[in-house]
């Protein structure tokens, strides 16, 4: 009876090792990392100016429209082309 219990325990232990991959060293490393991380100060001292200071000098920010070069491509009714052509054509020279 005791031998059967030992065999069952050994089989269960082998199956647990095969499926769980429980490693005591990994657990110890995780616990040590947790303990060491508790020793680190919560804040890091600032180097330079405080960004929360309202009197701090900052560079100016320019505005550039993202839709400024947009032109509509929707169809429109045709405009009278002769008048439009005359407005953009070079003026005739009066020297001749």
Is residue 77 situated within a structural domain?
no
Residue 22: give the domain boundaries.
1-40
Q: Is residue 84 part of a domain?
A: no
- Does the structure show a pLDDT above 80 at 10? no
- Mean pLDDT score across all residues of the chain: 79
Q: Is residue 16 part of a domain?
A: yes
pLDDT tier, 21 (very low <50, low <70, confident <90, very high otherwise): low
Cα–Cα dist 67/45, whole Å: 43
Domain total in the chain: 1
**Is 34 within a domain?**
yes
Is the confidence at residue 28, as pLDDT, over 70?
Answer: yes
In total, the chain counts a number of residues equal to 96
What pLDDT, in 10s, does the model give residues 70-93?
888 888 888 788 888 888 888 888
CA dist 87 to 75, 92, 94, Å?
Answer: 22, 12, 18
Burial (CB count within 10 angstroms: exposed 0-12, middle 13-18, buried 19+), residue 77: exposed
């Amino acid at each position: 009876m005791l031998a059967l219990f030992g065999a069952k325990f050994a089989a269960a232990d082998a199956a647990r090792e095969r499926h769980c991959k429980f490693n005591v060293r990994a657990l110890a490393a995780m616990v040590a990392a947790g303990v060491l991380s508790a020793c680190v100060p919560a804040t890091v001292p600032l180097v330079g100016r405080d960004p929360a200071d309202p009197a701090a000098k900052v560079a100016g920010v320019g505005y550039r429209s993202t839709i400024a070069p947009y032109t509509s491509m929707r169809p429109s009714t045709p405009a009278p082309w002769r008048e439009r052509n005359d407005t953009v054509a070079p003026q005739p020279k009066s020297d001749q």
